[in-house]
């Protein structure tokens, strides 16, 4: 009957080895999963930083263009106002003439 006891003992050792191997594989899988998640987080963080850098660069460019546009617009409006003030009397007289309200002629 020793052979049956030995067979039972071998079966138990076999089951233990399979269980240990299974647990070790699950542990390795979990470690790989954690490592891959960490790598993915680092990758996403780098991509996010690149996007932020690009957005900041675009933001600076747009703000610069807006400032230049505002300066040009102010200059044009100032010139327009100066021209109007210089020609105000002529413009008013021309409008009165075209409306037919020029009683001095």
Q: What's the Cα-to-Cα distance from 24 to each of 16, 27, 47, 66, 71, rounded to whole Å? A: 12, 5, 34, 62, 70
The structural domains of the chain, with segments of one domain joined by +, span 1-74
Minimum mean pLDDT range among 3-17, 20-34, 55-69: 3-17
Q: What is the mean pLDDT of residues 71-87?
A: 95
Average pLDDT, the chain: 93
């Amino acid at each position: 009957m020793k052979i049956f006891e030995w067979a039972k003992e071998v079966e138990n050792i076999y089951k233990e080895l399979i269980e240990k191997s299974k647990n070790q594989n699950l542990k390795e899988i979990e470690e790989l999963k954690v490592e891959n998640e960490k790598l993915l987080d680092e990758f996403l963080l780098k991509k996010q930083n690149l996007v932020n850098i690009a957005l900041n660069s675009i933001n600076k460019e747009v703000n610069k263009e807006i400032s230049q546009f505002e300066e040009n617009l102010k200059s044009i409006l100032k010139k327009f106002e100066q021209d109007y003030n210089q020609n105000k009397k002529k413009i008013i007289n021309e409008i009165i003439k075209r409306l037919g309200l020029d009683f001095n002629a």
